[in-house]
Structure 1
Amino acid sequence: MTESVYHIPVMLAQCTEGLAIDPNGIYVDLTFGGGGHSREILKHLDKGHLYGFDQDEDAMANIPDSENFTFVQANFRDLKKYLRLYGVKKVDGILADLGISSHQIDEPGRGFSTRFSGDLDMRMNQSGVLTAKEVLNTYEETKLHKIFGIYGEVKNAKTLAQAIVAERAAKPFETTEGFTSFLKKLAPRGKEYKYFAQVFQALRIEVNDEIGALEEMLLQAVEVLKPGGRLVVMSYHSLEDRLVKNLINKGKFQGELEKDFFGNPIRSLDPVSRGAIVADAAEVASNPRARSAKLRVASKREK
C-alpha cells in the first residue's frame, strides 16, 4: 500500500525542519500512519534511530525497510512505557500529526466517513471495545449533549442529543448512512456536510479518548525530551491546538502562566515558532486536509 494512497503528509518540510534533526539522534514519530513523515526523517539520519508509533494495525503495511527504524504498535499515550521497553530514556525530537489518516477515512468499514455506508465503528485501534454505535445507542442524553457541544462544537448539541435518544428508542442506530440520514433533519440548511463532520468528529474523539490520550502523551513527551530537544505537533481542530498551545506557552493545559520569585516563567518548553505555522495556498489546493492544520514547534528548556 503506497503512502500516497494511504495518506498524504501535511507540511512535510515544515515538520522535518521543526525537528532540527541530528543525524545521530533519537526521534519519535507518534502518528506513523502512511509513514510519510517517518520516511522523510529517516533521510536525515546517519547512526540515529526513529521509533514510529501507531495503534492501527493497518499502518504496519507501510513500515520502511530501514535498520534505523522501529515500529511500535501502540497508542501514543504509552510513549514512556514503550521507549523504556527499548531502553530509551531520552530523545532528541518528537513529532505528532494528530487526527485521522486519509486511509481511515476512505475505508467504509471503519465508519469514519459520511461519504460511505458502513458500521458506526470509528475505532482507531480495532481491538478497542467502545464504538460509535455504542455511544449513540447507550449514552445518556446529558453525556451526548456534552460530547457534541465540547468535542464537535455543535451549536444545537442539546437538541441533537434529545433527538438521538428519542430516535433510538424506536430504532437503534446501526450504519453511518442511516445516521447521516437522521442528521439531515437537524443540520442547518446549506451547511449539512460541515454539520455531519462536526458530529462525526465528536463521536470519533469520544470513541478513541483522543483528548485524554493527547494530554497524557504531551506530558510524557516533555519528560522524555532532552534539553534542547524539539516537540513538533500538528493539530486539526481548536480543542487539540489549544491544549498544545497552552502547554508550550503556559506549562499547563489551562490557566495563567506561573512565574517564580524572580519573575521567570515556570514551564518546560519554549516556543520555537511564533504562533502556529499554517500550510501555504499551493499545499491547501493540492491537499485540502492541510486547510485546517496548525503546526506548533517547541524546544525543551535547559535546566
Structure 2
Amino acid sequence: MSNQTYHIPVLYHETLEALQIKPGGVYVDCTFGGGGHSRGILAKLNENGKLIAFDQDADAQKNLPADKRVIFIPQNFAHLQRFLRLYKYPKVDGVLADLGVSSHQFDEGERGFSIRFDGPLDMRMDRRQETTAATVLANSSEKELTEIFSLYGEVSNSKTLAKHIVEHRSTSALTTIQSFKNMIAPAVKGNPNKYLAQVFQALRIQVNDELGVLKSLLEQLPEVLNNGGRAAIITFHSLEDRLVKNFFKQGSFEAEEEHPFFNSTKKSPFKIITKKPVLASEKELKENTRSRSAKLRVAELI
C-alpha cells in the first residue's frame, strides 16, 4: 500500500510553511500516520536535523522511511515530554499534530472506525489498550452515554439514544458495527449517515480519550519548545479547535471571565501566528474531501 493511499496529509504546504523549519533543527510529528507531513519536514532538514515521530498505531510503522535522522516512538503523544527527555532531546524547534483519524484507519473495516463496513466495535487507535467501543457501550450508565453522545458527537437526541441502548443491550449482542447499527436504528434521527457519523465520532473520542490526550499535549508545549519554537495543530471538530484556540490565547483551558475593573494577570506563553484558523483551499477540498473540516492553528513560544 502506498503511503499516499494510507493517508493524504491535510493542509500539507500550509503546515510546513507555518513551522518555519530550520535545516538543523529538531522537530516532532506527534501523529506520524502515513508519514506525509514527516517526509515534508525531512526534505527541509539537513544531515544534522532530527525528526521525532510518535504514533501509537502499530500499522504506522510500516510507513517509516529508512532515514537515520528519524527517531520513531510507538507511543501516544500524551507522553511527549517523557520520551523527548529519554532520547536526550528535551527541547525542540517545532511540534506538529494532525488530530484526524487516518484514511487507513477508516478504510480498514476490522478497526471499527467506519460506518461503511461491518467489523468489530473496536475503535482503538492503540490496540494494546483494553477499552473498546463495545466495552464503552456495555459498561457505561445511561447518564454517561448521554454525556458522551451529546458532548463528543453533538447528537441531537442523546438522551433517547442512551436510554434505548441501556434498555436493549442485554438482549442484543453489541459486538459488531452492523449489530449496533441494527439495534439503534429506531433511535436514529434525520440523515442516518450523518447521525451515525456523529455517534461513531463520540464513541471514538471516548475510547481513545482524545480530548484528554490533546489537553496533555498542549500543556507540555511550553516545556518542550525552544523560545521561538512553533506548534502547529490540525483539528477536525469544534471541541478540539476550541481547546487549541483557548490554550494558545491564554495558556490555559479555563474560559476567562471578562472583568470590567481588572486586567487579566494570566499571560499566554505563546504568540499566535494564525489569528484565524487556516482552512483547506478549494483545490485541496476537491482532491481530498476529508480536508473539509480541518483547521490549522499555529503559535510560537515567546
Report if TM-score (shorter chain) is over 0.5.
Answer: yes
Q: Following TM superposition, by how much is the alpha carbon of 1:264 offset from its aligned partner in structure 2, in angstroms?
A: 7.2
* SS of aligned partner of 1:52: strand
Q: Match for 2:69: what amino acid?
A: N
Give distance in 2, aligned partners of 1:19 and 1:195.
Answer: 36
Partner of 1:68: 69
Partner of 1:13: 13
Partner of 2:33: 33
Partner of 1:169: 170
Structure 1's consecutive aligned runs of 4 or more residues displaced over 4 angstroms after TM superposition are 261-265
Give distance in 2, aligned partners of 1:97 and 1:279.
Answer: 14
Deviations 1:258-290 (A, max 9, x none): 99x987761111110111000011111110110
* SS of aligned partner of 2:186: coil
Partner of 1:200: 200
- Structure 2 counterparts to residues 1-303 of structure 1, below 5 A: 1-46=1-46, 47-189=48-190, 191-256=191-256, 266-301=267-302
Give distance in 1, aligned partners of 2:135 and 2:264.
Answer: 50
Could you list the runs of 5+ residues in structure 1 that have no partner in the other structure? Answer: none
Q: Following TM superposition, by how much is the alpha carbon of 1:205 offset from its aligned partner in structure 2, in angstroms?
A: 0.7
Structure 2 contact 54–77 (Cα < 8 Å) conserved: yes
* SS of aligned partner of 1:21: coil
Q: Match for 1:203: what amino acid?
A: L
Q: Following TM superposition, by how much is the alpha carbon of 1:223 offset from its aligned partner in structure 2, in angstroms?
A: 1.2
Give distance in 2, aligned partners of 1:257 and 1:297.
Answer: 24
The two structures have a TM-score, normalised by structure 2, of: 0.96
* SS of aligned partner of 1:127: coil
The change in CA–CA distance for 1:116 and 1:256 in structure 2 (over 3 A counts) is same
Percent identity, please.
Answer: 48
* SS of aligned partner of 1:27: strand
Could you list the runs of 5+ residues in structure 2 that have no partner in the other structure? Answer: none
Structure 1 contact 250–257 (Cα < 8 Å) conserved: no
Q: Following TM superposition, by how much is the alpha carbon of 1:20 offset from its aligned partner in structure 2, in angstroms?
A: 0.4
Give distance in 1, aligned partners of 2:219 and 2:258.
Answer: 17
Structure 1 contact 79–221 (Cα < 8 Å) conserved: no
Q: How many residues align?
A: 299
Give distance in 2, aligned partners of 1:266 and 1:255.
Answer: 13
Q: Match for 1:126: what amino acid?
A: R
Structure 1 contact 137–172 (Cα < 8 Å) conserved: no
Structure 1 contact 257–265 (Cα < 8 Å) conserved: no
Q: Following TM superposition, by how much is the alpha carbon of 1:38 offset from its aligned partner in structure 2, in angstroms?
A: 0.2
Q: Following TM superposition, by how much is the alpha carbon of 1:148 offset from its aligned partner in structure 2, in angstroms?
A: 0.5
Structure 1 contact 32–52 (Cα < 8 Å) conserved: yes
* SS of aligned partner of 1:94: strand
Give distance in 2, aligned partners of 1:257 and 1:102.
Answer: 40
Structure 2 contact 165–184 (Cα < 8 Å) conserved: no
Structure 1 contact 30–76 (Cα < 8 Å) conserved: yes
Give distance in 1, aligned partners of 2:173 and 2:182.
Answer: 13
Give distance in 2, aligned partners of 1:298 and 1:43.
Answer: 22
* SS of aligned partner of 1:273: coil
